């Protein structure tokens, strides 16, 4: 794989993974900020993730590894290039005797062009996706390029022990020009991208309860439970190891922090309020009975079926190995039950009137956009 292509592959692969990892928080942000989801803004966010990884891959990778002292002794870069427009003399020297086509296609020329092109998306995204001006797009491109060149010159701020790439003032100039060009052409390139401020003006407009919103709220509930569980488990394990706790205490404490506590936060506490789950709140959904907030009993049933049951099965399936019963007796049946409940919940939204789903059908409640309620 060539020098120019492998960073692009890394950008697409890891940029896509980054976007997927941030998708649920992005959905919540868009819903609360704009009052709805914007497909085109989501595409823009994916472009930002891929471009951000590409920028790092092309400017900072590969990073030396292994015996860094030995690597620096052989490959370390001495000093930095501080002569402005040195690239002009370099191109003249490298392309001496070549025709116009040979000069344009020479690596010395292409390197300068690439440094300009690399920052064109920065200016485009800064102006149209973030909604900023040409001046701030150009200045931000300059600052980011300065950080990149400093990182190269200092060997990732001393971690490597030497400069592993040439820090070049001409690169700084080319990157800044690229950001400026991107900002200038942004209205033509991303004319289809809605602006954040325009979408935010319609934040308070009630919208239909669609299949996408109902399924999205389920995904957000599952994401909240799993994310809180991961954070809790990591926090407990870190604290337990720091204090030298025994393994059995760590295992049960980790289960409590990573399963039991998230279960209470995600599936139990919402019953005390409007009865809407965290995912439903994020997407402006609220359960109603006869047009008003359901009774405590109906809210409890709505939370139990199937959300709390799914969370309980997931928590029981993850009990520590030293539980009173063999681990597989918990993992297999409760894991299967959790999967079955998730499938039934997804299908029930399609099969029930008004997209109320299994929870709404069992509890006798429907779902409405909270912005349409009289209390608002």
How far apart are alpha carbons 50 and 2 in whole angstroms? 19
Query: What number of CA atoms fall less than 13 Å from residue 284's CA on the CB side?
Result: 25
Report in angstroms the alpha-carbon separations of 90 from 74, 95, 112, 212, 320: 24, 8, 11, 57, 65
Phi then psi for residue 287, to 5 deg, are: -75, 140
3-state secondary structure of 160: coil
How far apart are alpha carbons 101 and 99 in whole angstroms? 6
Please name the residue ranges forming H helices in 207-303: 211-243, 247-255, 261-263, 278-282, 296-303
CA 354 to chain centre: 32
Query: Could you list the pLDDT tens digit for every one of the 376 residues in the chain?
Result: 566 788 899 999 999 999 999 999 999 999 999 999 999 999 999 999 999 999 999 999 888 988 888 999 888 888 788 899 999 999 999 888 888 888 888 888 999 999 999 999 999 999 999 999 999 999 999 999 999 999 999 999 989 989 988 899 999 999 999 999 999 999 999 999 999 999 999 999 999 999 999 999 999 999 999 999 999 999 988 887 777 655 556 778 889 999 999 999 999 998 888 889 999 999 999 999 988 889 999 999 999 999 999 999 999 888 887 656 676 777 889 999 999 999 999 999 999 989 999 999 999 999 999 999 886 5
């Amino acid at each position: 794989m060539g020098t120019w292509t492998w960073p692009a592959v890394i950008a697409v692969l890891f940029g896509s993974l980054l976007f997927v990892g941030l998708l649920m928080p992005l959905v919540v942000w868009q819903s609360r900020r704009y009052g709805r989801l914007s497909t085109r803004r989501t595409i823009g966010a994916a472009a930002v993730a891929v471009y951000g990884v590409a920028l790092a891959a092309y400017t900072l990778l590969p990073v030396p590894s292994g015996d860094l002292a030995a690597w620096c002794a052989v490959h370390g870069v001495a000093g930095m290039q501080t002569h402005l427009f040195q690239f002009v003399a370099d191109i003249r020297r490298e392309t001496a005797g070549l025709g116009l086509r040979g000069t344009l296609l020479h690596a010395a020329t292409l390197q300068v062009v690439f440094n300009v092109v690399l920052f064109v998306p920065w200016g485009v995204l800064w102006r149209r996706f973030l909604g900023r001006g040409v001046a701030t797009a150009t200045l931000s491109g300059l600052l980011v390029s300065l950080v990149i060149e400093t990182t190269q010159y200092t060997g990732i701020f001393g971690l490597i022990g030497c400069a592993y790439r040439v820090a070049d003032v001409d690169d700084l100039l080319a990157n800044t020009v690229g950001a400026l060009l991107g900002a200038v052409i942004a209205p033509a390139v991303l004319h289809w991208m809605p602006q954040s401020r325009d979408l935010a003006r319609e934040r308070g407009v009630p919208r239909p309860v669609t299949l996408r919103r109902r399924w999205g709220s389920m995904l957000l509930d599952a994401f909240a439970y799993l994310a809180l569980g991961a954070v809790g488990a990591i926090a407990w394990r870190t604290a337990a190891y720091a204090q030298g706790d025994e393994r059995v205490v760590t295992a049960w404490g980790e289960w409590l922090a990573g399963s039991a506590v998230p279960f209470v936060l995600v599936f139990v506490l919402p019953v005390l309020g409007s009865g809407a789950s965290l995912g439903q709140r994020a997407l402006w959904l609220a359960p109603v009975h006869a047009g008003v907030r359901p009774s405590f009993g109906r809210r409890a049933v709505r939370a139990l079926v199937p959300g709390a049951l799914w969370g309980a099965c997931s928590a029981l399936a993850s009990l520590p190995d030293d539980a009173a019963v063999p681990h597989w007796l918990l993992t297999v049946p409760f894991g299967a039950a959790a999967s079955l409940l998730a499938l039934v919940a997804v299908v029930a939204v399609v099969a029930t009137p008004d997209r109320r789903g299994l929870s709404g059908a069992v509890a006798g409640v429907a779902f409405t956009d909270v912005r349409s309620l009289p209390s608002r």
